Amino acid sequence: MGLEDKSYKIHEQSFINTEVEKELGVYKNWFDNPTTDLWRHKRMLSVLDPFLHDQKGASWLTIGDGRFGTSAIYINRNGGKALATDIDTKLLDVAKQNNMITDFAYANAEKLPFTDEQFDFSYCKQAYHHFPRPILAVYEMLRVSKHAVIFTEPRDFIPIPIIRKILQKIKHGLKNILNKKIDHHDTGNYETIGNYVYTISIREFEKIALGLGLPCIAYKDFHDIYLKGVENELFSKDAKLYKKIDRSIVSNQIETSFGLTNPNTIQAIIFKTIPAANIISSLKKDGYTFVSFSPNPYI
C-alpha cells in the first residue's frame, strides 16, 4: 500500500469519532445563526459571490465538503446548484437526510468520477491541503469544470529577506537573530489526522495555467484565525472573540505592509475561460490580483 493509499484510508474515516448529533445542532441552522464562526467562513465564501450573482443556476462541484456540505449549502442558497463531495460521506448523508443539501457523492479529489466539463465551476475550501497528491486534484477539478476552479486554502510561506528577518527578530527581542526558526522552513508540517499540510503556491498555479494554455488566474491574500468558542459566540463588533480576531487581522495587515510577515490564507481562481468584465471588475474591487497570460505563440 502506497503512502497516498494510507492517506485515503485515514481520511475515509475522518469523521468516525464525530459527535454527529452535537455537530448537527451547530451546522443545521448554521447560516441562519449570526455567529462569529459564520462571519469567518463568509469571508472565505465571498469569493464565490461574483460568480453566483452573474450565473444564476450554474452547476457547481464542491470538493472535500464532507462537514455537512456547508460550501454546497452556501452555493445553493445563493442561486447555484451544487453537488457536495468528499472521500468521507458520513456527514453528507446526515445533511441530506436533514434537507441541508439536495445530493452528494463519494469522490476522491485526485480521481474524480465525473465527465469532462460536467460542471460550470468547482470549489475547494480548506481541503486541498489534506490531499497527498493535491496537484492531481487541481488537474481533475480543471477537467470536470467548464469555466473556473476556485480555492480557499492555507497560503504557502514566502521566505522573508534577511533584513526583514532581522527587523522581525528585533521586534520580538534581540536574542537568536540568526536562529533557524526565523525562516519558517518546515520539514514536517503535519496535522494530527496524518496529512502533510500542502499549502497553496500561486507560482505553482501560474505554471499549471501556463502549461495548459489557460487565459488567467486571480488571487487574494487574507488573514484568518480560529479561536475556540467562535461557533457559539453571537457575532457583534463588541463580541469578545470577534474583537480578538479583528485585532489579529489588523496586526497582520500592519506587519505585512512592513514586510515582516505574510497573511496565512489565500483565495485563488484558475480560469478556463476569460471571465466577464463585470466579474473581473468585482474581483479587482475586492482586492484580487488579476493575472492574464499571453497565448503560447507556438500553438
DSSP 239-269: -HHHHHHHHHHHHHHHHHHTTS---SEEEEE
Q: Residue 108 and residue 131: Cα distance in Å, rounded?
A: 9
Q: Where are the domains of the chain?
A: 3-292
Q: What is the DSSP letter of 195?
A: -
Q: Which residues have a Cβ under 8 Å from the Cβ of 84 and sit 6 or more positions away?
A: 62, 65, 66, 69, 71, 72, 92, 95, 101, 103, 104, 105
C-alpha cell at 192: 494530527
What's the confidence (pLDDT) of residue 177?
46
Show Cβ contacts of residue 250 under 8 Å, excluding neighbours closer than 6 positions: none
Cell readout for 288 is 484580487
Phi, psi of 94 (to 5 degrees): -65, -40
CA 228 to chain centre: 20
User: What is the full DSSP assignment across 224-242?
Assistant: ----TTTTTSBP-TT-HHH
Q: List the chain pLDDT tens, one digit each, 299 residues.
A: 566 667 777 767 777 778 899 899 989 999 999 999 999 999 999 999 999 999 999 999 999 999 999 999 999 999 999 999 999 999 999 999 999 999 999 999 999 999 999 999 999 999 999 999 999 999 999 999 999 999 999 999 776 655 556 666 666 665 554 444 444 445 568 888 888 999 999 999 999 999 999 999 999 999 999 999 999 999 999 999 999 999 999 999 999 888 788 899 999 999 999 999 999 999 999 999 999 999 999 98
Cα-to-chain-centroid distance, residue 227: 18
Question: What is the structure's pLDDT at 184?
Answer: 45
8 A C-beta contact, residue 150 and residue 254: no
Length of the chain in terms of residues written: 299
Q: Can you read off the three cell numbers belonging to residue 282?
A: 468585482
CB 217 within 8 A of CB 271: yes
Q: What pLDDT does 193 receive?
A: 81
Q: Is 33 left (phi over 0), alpha (psi -120 to 50) or beta?
A: beta
**Contacts of residue 226, Cβ cutoff 8 Å, sequence gap at least 6:** 40
Q: What is the pTM of this model?
A: 0.89
Architecture in CATH for domain 3-292: 3-Layer(aba) Sandwich (3.40)
User: Which residues touch 24 (CB under 8 Å, ≥6 apart)?
Assistant: 68, 94, 98
d(CA 253, CA 132): 31
As a whole number of Å, the CA-based R_g of the chain is 20
